Amino acid sequence: MMLALQTTKPQLPKTEAIANRIVSVAEVDSTNALAAQMIADGSLALPSSAAGSDAERLPVAVVVADRQVAGRGRNGHSWISQPGCCSTISYVVRIPRAVALDPSVNGWLQMIAGLATVDALNGMIEESGASMIDSAHFLELKWPNDVFCHGLKLGGLLSEVVMIPDADGGAAGSDDDVALVFGVGLNLALDPSRLPTAKSTSLQLHATGLPSFDAMQDAVAAREVEGLGTRLAKFIADPHGQAELLRAEMKAICWARGREVEAHFTDGSTLVGKAIGLDDDASLVLHTPDGVDHIVHTADVGVL
């Protein structure tokens, strides 16, 4: 028998107190798609980055849904979510076009979102008095866009650049800023029987003493708003300097580093090698058996 999924508009009081704006809906195709649509039609606007050039934290808007019916991941993958179990939120930040489109540094924007997500999850766990079940269970980032725990996928991130129409309603992209939309999907309280794949997991399987799903989602989102806004303000002020600091930070929680992995590219080719770290532009460096280091800019990476 099919059971109807009950959806309600999420309530995020902690997040509302710190976010520039919250858009909350019960159900949507994709929070990223809704955010992009609202940016395009002018109904979701953020202050110009020039107005906050000296700010310690950039304004962040939040688009949240109880359920996504067509959630998207990288390379055309889908993201399956369950109401009351999976957090599906997009965070919108306005940054200078020159930074967002600079290939020498813009790969770090995805890493910033990942680091902010891990910080938010760890902060929520500590704040609530919960704890991971043992020292072998901890949060890592699987390059370039997954949150891992104990070798399993707990969440995923999808970052997109959206052009901003000018104030006169002119062509999109005429402004010096663009909008970054970071879609973050997290399995927080998903029952093991409902996990979408054998390689996925949920936070409550790795931690004890966690609060309710609603409390977890709100606490994580509030911390993510703060972390993204603060990290991005620092990054746009000094992209190359921050890139070096981010590379050192990623070294500690990069799941692939030191492992034998296989990179799967969109053209169907593969590359096997040992992940030895991140390049200056946040690309993954694979050392192959022939002694050559290969720079991987975009691929799905799995451990052998």
pLDDT digits over 50-98, tens only? 765 667 999 999 999 999 887 565 555 566 678 899 999 999 999 999 9
Are the C-beta atoms of residues 256 and 75 closer than 8 Å to each other? no
With a cut of 80, say whether residue 169 has pLDDT above it: no
User: Which tokens sit at 232?
Assistant: 């991005």
Helices 213-237, 107-128: crossing angle, 10 deg rounding: 140
Any alpha helices (H) in the chain, and if so which ranges?
13-18, 31-40, 97-100, 107-128, 213-237, 239-253
pLDDT at 300: 87
User: Which tokens sit at 80?
Assistant: 């399956």
Higher pLDDT, 231 or 49: 231
Provide the pLDDT confidence category of residue 101 given band limits of 50, 70 and 90.
very high
* Least confident stretch, 61-70, 113-122, 224-233: 61-70
State the burial class of residue 107 (Cβ atoms within 10 Å of its Cβ: 0-12, 13-18, 19+): buried
Rounded to 5 degrees, what are φ and ψ at 43? Answer: -85, -10
The full DSSP string for 242-300 is: HHHHHHHHHHHHBTTTTSEEEEE-TTS-EEEEEEEEE-TTSPEEEE-TTS-EEEESS-E
With a cut of 50, say whether residue 100 has pLDDT above it: yes
Amino acid (1-letter code) at residue 8 = T
What is the signed CA dihedral for 283, 287, 293, 295, rounded to 10 degrees? -20
Rounded to 5 degrees, what are φ and ψ at 63? Answer: -120, 120
CA angle at residue 88 from 218 to 230, to 5 degrees? 60
pLDDT at 174: 47
pLDDT at 123: 98
* Distance of alpha carbon 240 from alpha carbon 99, whole angstroms: 10
Contacts 24+ apart (CB under 8 A), 1-9: 5/67, 5/82, 5/83, 6/83, 6/84, 7/66, 7/67, 7/83, 8/66, 8/83, 9/66
With a cut of 50, say whether residue 1 has pLDDT above it: no
Contacts of 209 (CB under 8 A, 6+ apart): 128, 129, 130, 131
- Tell me what the mean pLDDT of segment 164-180 comes to: 72
* Distance of alpha carbon 184 from alpha carbon 141, whole angstroms: 13
